[in-house]
Chains A and B, each alone.
Chain A
Amino acid sequence: EPEVTQTPSHQVTQMGQEVILRCVPISNHLYFYWYRQILGQKVEFLVSFYNNEISEKSEIFDDQFSVERPDGSNFTLKIRSTKLEDSAMYFCASRLDSPSSTDTQYFGPGTRLTVL
């Protein structure tokens, strides 16, 4: 069964450094998302992406964040200058966009980002 993959599984970085989290969505999916979950808290929406542009972003997704689909398979989240409070699990998700009633968002396993 196709699945969303994410790399790395765990990223440790120093405060102020740039990080890029990578996702490979399911191959024929058209909508892409990033969510994050701070330890012990709710899963929070960050950004959605469709047709090579951001569709919606949350208040969390400030100028330090950016997303890109550099080729036909990868979807990346970049944090330019990491802060301690960026430490969280980051989940990528993708969705097909079809009239089928089974269409839904499928999540990857997540990348645990630790900012020291």
Chain B
Amino acid sequence: DAKTTQPPSMDCAEGRAANLPCNHSTISGNEYVYWYRQIHSQGPQYIIHGLKNNETNEMASLIITEDRKSSTLILPHATLRDTAVYYCIDLTNFGNEKLTFGTGTRLTIIP
């Protein structure tokens, strides 16, 4: 079972920042926080990951609390194409470690 918890759904107005929370209450010291998304039954798409520092790439920003028990994925200017299910996953990413998906957060961008 997934070790993270996320709200089942969220709405965000187009052009606004979408902030998606995740709780990682059992994250261990060598596990990264990974975020993926799945747009309408397409293959899951990697977004971003981090260990303990905040991270930013061309898709999103990731804020990880100091105790690493929670994180927030930020899509700074949401577009309609960002409507998807977003998953946060704790992962060491050593060797062949599999991804364990939960139910994620269904983000709907509203025009």
Residues of A whose CB lies within 8 Å of any CB of B are 4, 31, 33, 35, 37, 42-45, 48, 50, 55-56, 89, 91, 93, 97, 101, 103-110
User: Interface residues of B, CB < 8 Å — how many?
Assistant: 19
The interface residues of chain A, by DSSP majority, are classed as strand
Bound Cα distance from A38 to B64, whole angstroms? 32
Q: A108 and B101: CB pair below 8 A?
A: no
Partner of B96, one of A48, A89, A103: A48
Complex CA–CA separation, A4 to B42 (angstroms)? 12
Query: Which residues of B are in contact with A by a Cβ distance under 8 Å?
Result: 2, 34, 38, 41-46, 49, 93, 95-96, 98-103
Q: Is the CB of B43 within 8 A of A107?
A: yes
A56 touches B43 (CB 8 A): no
Q: Find out whether the CB atom of B38 lies under 8 angstroms from the CB atom of A43.
A: yes
Q: Select from chain B the residue with minimum beta-carbon distance to A104.
A: B46
Q: Is the CB of A42 within 8 A of B42?
A: no
Q: Which residues in B have their C-beta under 8 angstroms from that of A101?
A: 49
Q: Which residues of B contact A50 (CB under 8 A)?
A: 95-96
A108 adjacent to B100 (CB under 8 Å): no
- Chain B residues with Cβ below 8 Å from A37 are 41
Q: Are A108 and B43 in contact (CB under 8 A)?
A: yes
A56 and B96 contact, CB distance less than 8 A: yes
